[in-house]
């Protein structure tokens, strides 16, 4: 690997930026491809760049070809997937378990100490700090999803505001359409534009007809996965 390509790859890892290392199988020449940049000595045509970025978005390493049939290998270098859940409520328990199975590192944030306990949430990061402070300390990047579940504006809104100021890939908030409309109005008064507020998935989750906590958790995780892989989104839940 040449120094320029190595430096680009190390810089991406340091800043937790998703990149794909593309190698010419025949020559060994390499390039680092991200969503907005190409670095390295390997020259790639538009077909190869598009295929590499598609694999990066899908989190799938593998072989591709350029427009001339040249064989290339794409090694995806994505930061770990993370889920930050604000509110150690009943829905959070199945959501945490399913998210961990799906490969997410999970953190639970709830300043109400009686809720966020090791007994209820073994093996995950727990924070009793105020949500905006906790979310900031945990750090948000393009591989992080944030979900608020408390139904309490004093807890949910600070976390949502922090998430909106970040580049996290998913923001979801539990509540009915009426609850969500009131939430948007509060955040609008804080200076967020309609375009920014459109990032919030509310009511949270895909419309699966879910009713139980476990079913709602399934709908939430399904929507997170859908957004991560940039699929077109069907209707969201009418209520939660």
Residues 24 and 101 in one domain: no
Asked if 42 and 22 count as a contact pair (C-beta separation under 8 A), the reply is yes
Shared domain for 112 and 218, answered yes or no, is yes
User: Measured between alpha carbons, how far is 149 from 93 in angstroms, rounded to an integer?
Assistant: 11
Please report the DSSP string for 134-161 in residue order: HHHHH---TTEEEEE-S--HHHHHHHHH
| Number of folded domains that form the chain | 2
**More confident position, 223 or 35:** 223
pLDDT at position 232: 34
Task: Note whether 104 and 189 are same-domain residues.
Answer: yes
Query: Which residues form the domain of 172?
Result: 82-228
Averaged pLDDT, 100-105: 94
* Band of residue 210 on the pLDDT scale cut at 50, 70, 90: confident
Q: d(Cα 56, Cα 32) in Å, to the nearest integer?
A: 11
Residue 239 lies in a domain: no
182 and 205 housed in the same domain: yes
Dist. CA 46–CA 207, nearest whole Å: 37
Answer for the pair 162, 136: CB distance below 8 angstroms, yes or no.
yes
- CATH code assigned at 207: 3.40.50.720
Q: What are 59-83's pLDDT values in tens digits?
A: 889 999 999 999 999 999 888 899 9
Same domain, 131 and 204: yes
Which residues face 147 on adjacent strands? 85, 172
Domain boundary among 61, 77, 93: 77
Domain annotation covers residue 237: no
User: Is residue 235 in some structural domain?
Assistant: no
Q: Of 56, 77, 98, which marks where a domain is finished? A: 77
- Check whether residue 127 and residue 218 sit in a common domain: yes
* pLDDT tens profile 113-166: 788 889 999 989 999 999 999 999 999 988 899 999 999 999 999 999 999 999
Q: Identify the DSSP state of 34.
A: -
Q: What is the pTM of this model?
A: 0.79
Q: Examine the domain organization and report whether 207 and 111 are in the same domain.
A: yes
pLDDT at 183: 96
Task: Note whether residue 233 is domain-resident.
Answer: no
Residue 123 lies inside a defined structural domain of this protein: yes
Pick the closest to residue 193 from 224, 156, 161 (CA basis). 161
Which pLDDT score, from 0 to 100, does residue 234 have?
Answer: 39
Q: Tell me which residue of 233, 188, 210, 89 sits closest to 148, measured CA to CA.
A: 89
**End of a domain among 26, 45, 77?**
77
On whether residue 238 sits in a domain, the answer given is no
Residues 72 and 88 in one domain: no
Q: Are residues 66 and 103 in the same domain?
A: no
Distances (CA, A) of 3 to 42, 72, 127: 13, 20, 40
Q: What are phi and psi of 76, to 5 degrees?
A: -75, 130
Copy the structure tokens of residue 52.
Answer: 């590499």
| 12 located within any domain | yes
What are residue 22's DSSP bridge partners? 31, 74
Same domain, 213 and 111: yes
14 pLDDT more than 90 = no
The proportion of the chain whose per-residue pLDDT surpasses 90, expressed as a percent, equals 72
Q: What distance in Å separates the CA atoms of residue 167 and residue 151, rounded to the nearest whole number?
A: 24
Determine contact, residues 31/39, Cβ cutoff 8 Å. Answer: yes
Note whether 89 and 148 are same-domain residues.
yes
Torsion of CA 180, 185, 189, 193, to 10 degrees: 80
Residue 178 host element (H or E): helix 177-189
Range with the poorest average pLDDT among 49-63, 94-108, 184-198: 49-63
Does 101 lie in the same domain as 156? yes
Residue 46 lies in a domain: yes
pLDDT of residue 125: 94
């Amino acid at each position: 690997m040449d120094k320029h390509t190595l430096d680009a790859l190390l810089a991406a890892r340091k800043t937790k930026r998703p990149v794909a290392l593309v190698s010419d199988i025949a020559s060994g020449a390499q390039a680092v491809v991200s969503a907005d940049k190409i670095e390295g000595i390997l020259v790639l045509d538009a077909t190869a760049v598009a295929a590499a970025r598609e694999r990066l978005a899908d989190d799938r390493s593998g072989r591709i070809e350029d427009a001339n049939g040249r064989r290339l290998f794409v090694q995806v270098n994505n930061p770990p997937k993370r889920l930050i859940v604000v509110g150690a409520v009943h829905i959070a328990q199945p959501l945490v378990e399913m998210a961990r199975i799906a490969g997410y590192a999970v953190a639970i944030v709830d300043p109400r100490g009686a809720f966020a306990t090791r007994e209820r949430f073994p093996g995950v990061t727990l924070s009793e700090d105020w949500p905006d402070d906790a979310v900031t300390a945990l750090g948000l990047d393009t591989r992080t999803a944030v979900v608020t579940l408390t139904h309490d504006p004093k807890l949910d809104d600070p976390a949502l505001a922090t998430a909106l100021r970040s580049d996290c890939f998913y923001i979801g908030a539990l509540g009915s359409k009426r609850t969500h409309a009131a939430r948007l109005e509060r955040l609008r008064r804080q200076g967020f534009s309609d375009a920014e507020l459109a990032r919030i998935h509310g009511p949270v989750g895909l419309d699966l007809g879910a009713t139980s906590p476990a079913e709602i958790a399934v709908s939430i995780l399904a929507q997170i996965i859908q957004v991560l892989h940039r699929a077109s989104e069907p209707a969201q839940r009418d209520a939660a």
